[in-house]
Chain A
């Protein structure tokens, strides 16, 4: 089955393709990773303190666990694979937080089992370009983003550093991220 045809299938049909095994299964497994790996990374960033490496480990462990569950028929409702995926994210994040382990054998097996092409990279956002765009923001906007994303400060802590209120920090950070995105994507001067 071609990539073009796979892309038209519903999530449930892709899950059925994995579960059924046979020659369609590898393509369906890759398609499942293409659809869900970044969602698991997003979840991991939120729940693992913005640790990009840990979020990547979580995402790969989740994908491997879900694929193994589909292969062995342990997913009862293939029409709700998204819920199964999210539940697995929660379990893996809980386990990672508890043990503080960064990596295990499951994580390392995803690319070897499915091939490197099945593990799409994070969307490439060049950090030097981001640094240039951060420098074009208003000083308090760039400072807020750096305190939030690099140092994990709360809105109240950022408010203290900037001499403003937590409510205003929310306004600043939202405006800052929108302007940063515009600048990085080159759609508008910042």
Chain B
């Protein structure tokens, strides 16, 4: 039986709890309330489901630690290692698996912000990923490619790394990937 809550927990506080940012006494108080209140429990359950989905989501650009976790979980079908100016022909991964392009060799030591422009080999813009994670010492960017990308994007893509400082934007490296359907 659900009755209205007289002291509902805010969404911000539920998020603080889930991320472990509440002091222990407040955390215990919140838990007691959520277990006793169906209305607040419903809010907590929605947040938990969203958090679980975010945890499972695959972003287009990976961090090194995320790649390590995906590799150890067997999610990476193939790692395509490329140098600046390189051209690679690769197969789309099978459904549920990832193809990861490891774009390395770029000079990123002094870079504070990196964008990735996506173009066709003819130079037409496909899209842009702003302020992406990158590994400055390694000069490395990790691009995750999934099977359904075959339906969303042109098969042949040039990844252009652009460093951004204030209003200045400089292309530092480009990599051409020719995706082919079917298992490799």
Answer yes or no: do A and B interact. Answer: yes
In which size bucket is the chain A interface? 35 or more
Q: Taking beta carbons and an 8 Å cutoff, which residues of A are in contact with B?
A: 7-11, 35-36, 38-39, 41-43, 45-46, 50, 52, 82-83, 85-86, 89, 122-128, 130-131, 134-135, 139-140, 142-143, 145-151, 155, 161, 163, 170, 173-174, 177-178, 180-181, 184
Q: How far is the CA of A50 from the CA of B54 in the complex (A)?
A: 11
Q: Are B41 and A85 in contact (CB under 8 A)?
A: no
Q: Are B54 and A146 in contact (CB under 8 A)?
A: yes
Contact A150:B11 (CB < 8 A) given known A126-B53, A130-B54: no
Q: How far is the CA of A41 from the CA of B34 in the complex (A)?
A: 12
Contact A46:B45 (CB < 8 A) given known A39-B35, A125-B50: no
Interface residue? B65 (CB, 8 A): yes
Interface residue? B55 (CB, 8 A): yes
- Measured CB to CB, the closest approach of chain A to B99, in angstroms, equals 16
Chain B residue with the shortest CB-CB distance to A133? B57
Q: How far is the CA of A18 from the CA of B34 in the complex (A)?
A: 22
Q: How many A-B residue pairs have CB under 8 A?
A: 129
Contact A146:B66 (CB < 8 A) given known A45-B52, A86-B31, A155-B21: yes
Chain A residues touching B, majority SS: helix
Q: Taking beta carbons and an 8 Å cutoff, which residues of B are in contact with A?
A: 1, 11-12, 15-21, 31-32, 34-36, 38, 41, 44-60, 63, 65-66, 69, 112, 129-133, 148
Given contacts A125-B49, A135-B60, 17 further A-B contacts (CB under 8 A): A7-B1, A8-B1, A35-B38, A39-B34, A41-B48, A50-B52, A52-B55, A83-B35, A123-B49, A127-B53, A127-B58, A134-B59, A146-B63, A146-B66, A148-B19, A151-B66, A181-B50
